[in-house]
Amino acid sequence: MTQERPPVWRQRNYLLLWGAQVVSNLGAYATGIIYPLLVLAITQSPAIVGVVSALRIVPYLLLSLPVGALIDRWNRRRVMIVCDVGRALAVGSLPLAMAFDALVMPHIYAVAVIEGTLLVCFNIAETAALPRVVANEQLPQAVAQNQVGFAAAAIAGPALGTWLYGNLGRGLPFVVNAACFALSAFGILRLRASFEPAPGAARLDMRSDIAEGLRWLWRDRLVRDMALLTGIGHFVNAAVPLLVIVLAQQRGVGEAQIGVIFSLAGLGGMFGALLGPWCQRRFGFGSVIIGTLVVQAVLFPLFGLASTALTLGLVLGAIQFFAPIYNVVQFSHRIAKIPDGLQGRVNSSFRLIAFALHPVGAAVCGLVIEHASVFAALALFAVVSAVLALLAALDPAVRHEGRS
């Protein structure tokens, strides 16, 4: 008889991993909204804001495959600690430069690239580590609780960041972010599970390692199609922060209220994360994936009708309500299917495809806003969102996937 496992919120290792992610995400959300505000204040250029946003994601395109192969060879906990410490140092350099009135755009570009590079390594290592921390049957519960934590950070982070930025100094949100990364590293250091490579993980050459992960993903029709659909989704999602910020500024919304808009989005995400496992059990994989994308496509044009901080926040919150439901279902379904020795390589292959269009979306949004208008950008991304929902509904692998 199999011994019943305690729920994930009573498991020490999971709580340490979860807590580390929540703390680091709190800092990341506190500065995520500050980057566009800071760059706009320095340059007055939405296009440059798009470039900075893109630079934080470009490492996914360049490094995902080799990093995935290396993660399957390395101790996953050690990788996460090194990445957190590195991100703390990189982000902490920004307020130091501000203190000496020496902050320049190349410095911001460099931090964006370094932070993005270490984020690639951290995320792939954390994804590969999760099945070592919780059992496969508890992965939906664990992923849902992760999403709740991310949403809680998304509620508090933007409001905290904009308040610090507007009232106590432009550099303070980055100080808080660096401290959060350091706390995350301390929490991961206390994990007691084994994170050594799976037996037989040492390979002869990097090329064969990468090819093995890519072959596994491409032969699994559902995982492959979900990577492609998620990639189109990231193209749209990359545009949302800049779209909302520019729309809010055109309506006379102040910096503190912009933080509240993104906090409302986090509140919507928290409720969605709580409902994710129930939706998975009640409706099944295909219905949830298609349904969430269709509703988000319907909601997206409503940004153009929102005229106040509250209505912008409500539209963004409604869209973000469905995002974690999608993530809980696709993520837990995917990592349960992947063999442990391939977790790093397959997930890095998935992320390469899923994030390929993210920097393009951020850059395109900035360029369209600067050279046409914010409403032209809104129309463009609304159309792409509708096409994404249609593609998901027509995909037989998604439509016919059974309940997981």
CATH of the domain at 378: 1.20.1250.20
Report the alpha-carbon angle 134-139-140, nearest 5. 150
Residue 22 within any structural domain of the chain? yes
């410095």: which residue's tokens? Answer: 107
Residue 227 within any structural domain of the chain? yes
Per-residue pLDDT tens digits of the chain, which is 404 residues long = 345 778 887 788 888 988 888 898 888 888 887 888 888 888 888 888 878 877 777 887 788 788 878 887 888 899 999 999 999 999 999 999 999 988 889 998 899 889 888 988 898 888 888 888 888 778 778 877 887 888 788 778 888 888 888 878 888 999 999 999 999 999 999 988 777 776 655 555 778 888 888 899 999 999 999 999 999 999 999 899 889 989 998 888 887 788 888 888 878 888 888 887 788 778 888 999 999 999 999 999 999 998 888 999 999 999 989 998 998 888 888 888 888 778 778 888 898 888 888 888 988 998 999 899 999 999 999 999 999 999 999 999 998 876 44
- CA distances 122 to 78, 162, 184, 188, 395, Å, are 10, 26, 11, 11, 32
The Cα–Cα gap between 404 and 402 comes to 6
DSSP symbols for 84-148: HHHHHHHHHHHHHHHHTT---HHHHHHHHHHHHHHHHHHHHHHHHHHHHHS-GGGHHHHHHHHHH
Residue 108 within any structural domain of the chain? yes
Question: CB neighbours (10 Å) of residue 206?
Answer: 13
DSSP symbols for 12-23: HHHHHHHHHHHH
φ and ψ at residue 369, rounded to 5 degrees: -60, -45
According to the model, what pLDDT value does residue 1 have? 38
According to the model, what pLDDT value does residue 299 have? 95
The Cα–Cα gap between 146 and 233 comes to 20
Identify which of 64, 45, 399 has the alpha carbon closest to the alpha carbon of residue 231: 64
The Cα–Cα gap between 296 and 387 comes to 12
According to the model, what pLDDT value does residue 8 have? 80
Residue 375 within any structural domain of the chain? yes
Report the alpha-carbon angle 108-66-186, nearest 5. 60
Neighbour-count burial of 71, counting CB atoms closer than 10 A to its CB (0-12 exposed, 13-18 middle, 19+ buried): buried
Residue 3 within any structural domain of the chain? no
According to the model, what pLDDT value does residue 165 have? 85
| The one-letter amino acid at 38 | L
The Cα–Cα gap between 371 and 312 comes to 23
Count of domains observed in the chain? 1
Residue 196 within any structural domain of the chain? no
- CA distances 119 to 85, 127, 271, 278, 353, Å, are 11, 12, 26, 30, 16
Whether the model pTM is above 0.75: no
Q: Is 364 helix (H, G, I), strand (E, B) or coil?
A: helix
Residue 83 within any structural domain of the chain? yes
Residue 1 within any structural domain of the chain? no
| The one-letter amino acid at 150 | F
Find the domain containing 315 and state its range: 9-191+203-399
